[in-house]
Amino acid sequence: MTNVSEKSKLTTYGNIINGQSVQAQDGAVSNSIDPSTAEVWATIPSSKKEDAEWVVQAARAAFDDWANLPARTRGDYLRKIGDMIPEYAAELLELETRNNGWVLDEYQYLAEVLKQVWYDAAGAASLVGAQGRTVQMGTGDFGFTSRKPYGVVVGILPWNAPLFTFTIKAAYALAAGNTVIIKPSESAAVGSLRYGELISHILPPGVLNVISGAGREIGDYLVSHKEVNKVSLTGSKATAERITKATAHSPKSLIFELGGKSPNIVFEDADIDQAVHGLINGIFTPNSGQICVAGSRMLIQRSIYDEVIGRLKELMTDNEFVKHGDTLDTNNTMGPIANEAQYQSVCGFIDEASKEGYEVVFGGKYGGEAVLPGQPEFADGYWVQPTLVKVADNSSKLAHEEIFGPVAVAIPFDTEDEAIQIANDTNFGLAAGVWTQNLSLAHRMIDKLQAGNVWVNTYARVGADLPFSGVKESGYGTDSVLDYTVEKACVINIR
């Protein structure tokens, strides 16, 4: 455990370009802020277009050699990155925690996940070359396909899960033979810059680069660059719209992993204890609701509505269960909102609940003094209480907009058809949870829910062994090795 005073040391991190740690060419930096205290704890490069041009040229120059390596050799490199993770996991997880306020205790599982993704990608590197097909073309023509890398891939990361999104983009793109530029969020870049530095000690120069800077300054430049062949964004719909416009004159392959407003649905025959923990783990405890798959709409069958709400309230007002405080103290269970802009946005939704007169079951307070009374070191931090709001139906702004914080609505329903109707009444389609003991009901729900991911009697179960993507406005494409290849067609005239 590290105490808060030890957090005050300021470190400078650099971009990783062509295997070197470098500052922005004009020397500009921006501050990285610890959201638990609002203190500056590190500086990161504030890169400009000339830095973006430099990183594209580095990735382009490294492409041919990397793409032409035997696939097994690329796999060997990626396996070495996986082997490196345990040695640096503690450092990387601490940086991630300081970056975005995710409590360290919730992060312990991540080191294993990162390592496994690199190993999975290492195996996939050898298999991708065998994914071509031969095609029966009729007499005289022989058709076949082969899988080719795109070229230079730009991976754009959100602030809520930088190390994870960095890994799933870089590992599979590299496995397929692409070279990669990672652009982390300006609000949480430190972990990615350090991670990139460690990886650059293993890979040939220019194969994996990391550049930090504002989305509008270097993001637009990178995605619209003619030498960039594929872009994978994990972020908001607003950024996806900007990227779509920016790439209009130089179209390229896009992966969009966007937001959600996911229903977590409890039927009356569910194991109530299991379901209540599933509702909590679906939104409140992981990263204070700042996860794309947050089960932010709790749909609860009316016959058990009061009982479930009561159990949720009991747990979420228990000071042993919900412990705010130093994010590096593994006894604490909930951290702050990751940055000030997001904090203001989440507080706005809580104000909206009181303005509209909705019943707040628990929570509803924000600010360091309100959430952590008597702990002045956190007074300026971006703290929000986990908050549950009762709403009669799905019509409110709270039920439709992605809040991306620890604020959920509880909506009653009577029938299976009504549950489906409410669940699908959203522009998003990322995830859904179903809690029932009835296998047939579970299958009907899986069939009808408009979501890229459905979990039954569990929630947010993601991993390298399954695809992960959304439908509707939650995006398209998935960070998998095949999605980082072009299937090239060839016909030979053998007449």
Contact set with ligand NAD (CB under 6 A): 156-161, 183-186, 215-216, 219-220, 223, 234-236, 239, 242-243, 257-260, 292, 402, 404, 430, 470
Angle at 272 between CA 266 and CA 278, to 5 degrees: 65
Report the residue number, 82 or 213, with the smaller CB distance to ligand NAD: 213
Report the residue number, 151 or 184, with the smaller CB distance to ligand NAD: 184
To ligand NAD, the closest distance from the beta carbon of 217 in angstroms equals: 9
CB 388 within 8 A of CB 316: yes
Tell the burial category of 95 from Cβ atoms under 10 Å away from its Cβ (0-12, 13-18, 19+): buried
SS3 457: coil
Which one, of 359, 356, 381, 355, lies nearest residue 370 by Cα? Answer: 381
- Show the beta-strand stretches assigned E in 15-62: 15-17, 20-22, 29-34, 39-45
Complete DSSP assignment for 405-445:
SSEEEEEEE-SHHHHHHHHH-SS--SEEEEE-S-HHHHHHH
To ligand NAD, the closest distance from the beta carbon of 275 in angstroms equals: 24
- Show the beta-strand stretches assigned E in 338-401: 359-362, 387-390
**Six token digits for residue 273:** 């204890």
C-alpha span between 190 and 55 (Å, rounded): 18
Report the residue number, 274 or 345, with the smaller CB distance to ligand NAD: 345
Alpha helices, DSSP H only, in 69-161? Answer: 71-100, 104-107, 110-128
Residue of 106, 257, 402, 473 with catalytic role:
257
Residue of 292, 347, 402, 473 with catalytic role:
292
To ligand NAD, the closest distance from the beta carbon of 157 in angstroms equals: 5
Number of residue whose CB is nearest ligand NAD: 215
To ligand NAD, the closest distance from the beta carbon of 477 in angstroms equals: 11
Report the residue number, 284 or 305, with the smaller CB distance to ligand NAD: 284
**Residue 448: its H or E element:** helix 439-448
To ligand NAD, the closest distance from the beta carbon of 9 in angstroms equals: 26
Lookup result for tokens 């990391």: 210
Instruction: Order the strands of the 29-34 sheet from edge to edge.
Output: 11-12, 39-45, 29-34
Report the residue number, 183 or 297, with the smaller CB distance to ligand NAD: 183
Q: Is 257 a catalytic residue?
A: yes
Radius of gyration of the chain (CA): 23
Sign of CA dihedral 264, 269, 271, 272: positive
Report the residue number, 126 or 236, with the smaller CB distance to ligand NAD: 236
Report the residue number, 100 or 178, with the smaller CB distance to ligand NAD: 100
SS3 91: helix
To ligand NAD, the closest distance from the beta carbon of 144 in angstroms equals: 34
To ligand NAD, the closest distance from the beta carbon of 5 in angstroms equals: 29
CA distances to 367, 390, 391, 397 from 407, rounded to whole Å, are 15, 11, 13, 12
CB 178 within 8 A of CB 150: yes
Report the residue number, 282 or 470, with the smaller CB distance to ligand NAD: 470
Pairing of strands 485-493, 20-22: unpaired
To ligand NAD, the closest distance from the beta carbon of 168 in angstroms equals: 9
CB 60 within 8 A of CB 179: yes
**Six token digits for residue 305:** 């509505």
Tell the burial category of 67 from Cβ atoms under 10 Å away from its Cβ (0-12, 13-18, 19+): middle
Q: Is 292 a catalytic residue?
A: yes
To ligand NAD, the closest distance from the beta carbon of 479 in angstroms equals: 8
CA distances to 35, 42, 236, 298, 320 from 325, rounded to whole Å, are 11, 20, 28, 27, 12
Report the residue number, 242 or 311, with the smaller CB distance to ligand NAD: 242
To ligand NAD, the closest distance from the beta carbon of 292 in angstroms equals: 3
C-alpha span between 405 and 283 (Å, rounded): 8
The residues that are catalytic are 257, 292
